[in-house]
């Protein structure tokens, strides 16, 4: 019986020895100098569990999550800011706005909604952005990409007028000029569209006598030449 136990132990030792040898052989980074060089090797091979630097390890895990497109991998990250970055990347890779809603870091949640809003030309995602400037930029970008004048209403004051004017000119839609906030801006919009579209009949829509005559003169001068 004793000889049987000795044989079992001997076999186990051999297996353990073989396992250690295989681990060493598989870990090509061990041949490198300990420190940043070896850590960089582990990073490139996405062997994150073998890394000793916490911050670099977190970045490694984020890259691993991106490669796998697996949001659960982000949960292995210690730093909350890097967790947000990781979740933001997965949301973009999978085009899943619900992932944005689960981000607790406001900066990355805003960036997530901004990028998906722009990528999908979806103003609803822009509404979820907390930062005022970034939210306005998102609305403007989507409005101009889609020529959807209705989105302009989500912009404040002068920005709303600029948005409407830009779309009116892009679409050469003189009707949109009537949605601007002042009579001067409405007439200026009509004048620009009349000139750019070469539609003289639009001049008659201009309320200001001076600007209307200037518009008509522009066309009359062109005919004379």
Which is higher by pLDDT, 5 or 125?
Answer: 125
pLDDT at position 40 is 63
Report the alpha-carbon distance of residue 28 to residue 160 in Å, rounded. 59
- CA angle 129–176–189, rounded 5-degree value: 105
Least confident of 41-50, 94-103, 179-188, 199-208: 41-50
Residues 36-48: what's their mean pLDDT? 68
| Residues 194, 134 share a domain | no
Residues 20-25: what's their mean pLDDT? 33
Classify residue 222: in a domain, yes or no.
yes
| Residues 113, 58 share a domain | yes
**Mean pLDDT, the chain, integer:** 84
Classify residue 45: in a domain, yes or no.
no
Q: Which domain holds residue 84?
A: 52-146
Residues 105-115: what's their mean pLDDT? 98
Domains of the chain: total: 2
**How many CB atoms are closer than 10 A to CB 163?**
22
| Residues 102, 176 share a domain | no
pLDDT at position 34 is 66
Residues 197-213: what's their mean pLDDT? 96
Residues 106-116: what's their mean pLDDT? 98
Q: What is the pLDDT of residues 142-169, one digit of tens each?
A: 999 999 999 999 999 889 999 999 999 9
Is the pTM of the predicted complex or chain greater than 0.85?
A: no
Max Cα separation, the chain? 119
| Residues 73, 157 share a domain | no
| Residues 110, 134 share a domain | yes
| Residues 174, 131 share a domain | no
| Residues 131, 108 share a domain | yes
Residues 193-215: what's their mean pLDDT? 95
Residue 178 has pLDDT above 90, yes or no: yes
| Residues 89, 72 share a domain | yes
Q: Percent of the chain, pLDDT > 70?
A: 78
What confidence category does residue 220 fall into, taking pLDDT thresholds of 50, 70 and 90?
Answer: confident
**How many CB atoms are closer than 10 A to CB 153?**
12
Report the alpha-carbon distance of residue 124 to residue 98 in Å, rounded. 13
- Domain-ending residue, one of 121, 146, 171: 146
Which is higher by pLDDT, 3 or 70?
Answer: 70
Residue 190 has pLDDT above 50, yes or no: yes
pLDDT at position 221 is 74
What confidence category does residue 21 fall into, taking pLDDT thresholds of 50, 70 and 90?
Answer: very low
Classify residue 2: in a domain, yes or no.
no
What confidence category does residue 47 fall into, taking pLDDT thresholds of 50, 70 and 90?
Answer: confident
Which is higher by pLDDT, 61 or 110?
Answer: 110
pLDDT at position 14 is 36
208 dihedral zone (left: phi>0; alpha: psi -120 to 50; beta): beta
Tokens representing 124 are 């609803």
């Amino acid at each position: 019986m004793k000889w049987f136990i000795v044989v079992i132990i001997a076999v186990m030792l051999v297996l353990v020895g073989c396992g250690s040898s295989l681990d060493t052989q598989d870990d090509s980074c061990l041949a490198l100098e300990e420190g940043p060089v070896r850590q960089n090797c582990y990073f490139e091979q996405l062997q994150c569990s073998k890394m000793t630097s916490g911050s670099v390890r977190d970045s490694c895990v984020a890259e691993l999550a991106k490669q796998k497109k697996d949001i659960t991998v982000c949960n292995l990250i210690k730093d909350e800011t890097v967790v947000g970055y990781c979740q933001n990347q997965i949301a973009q890779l999978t085009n899943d706005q619900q992932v944005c809603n689960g981000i607790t870091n406001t900066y990355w949640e805003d960036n997530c909604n901004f990028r998906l809003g722009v990528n999908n030309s979806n103003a609803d995602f822009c509404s979820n952005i907390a930062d005022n400037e970034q939210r306005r930029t998102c609305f403007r970008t989507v409005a101009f990409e889609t020529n959807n004048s209705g989105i302009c209403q989500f912009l404040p004051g002068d920005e709303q007028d600029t948005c409407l004017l830009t779309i009116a000119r892009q679409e050469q839609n003189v009707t949109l000029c009537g949605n601007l906030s002042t009579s001067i801006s409405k007439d200026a919009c009509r004048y620009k569209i009349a000139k750019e579209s070469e539609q003289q009949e639009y001049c008659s829509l201009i309320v200001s006598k001076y600007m209307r005559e200037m518009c008509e003169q522009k066309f009359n001068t062109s005919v004379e030449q």
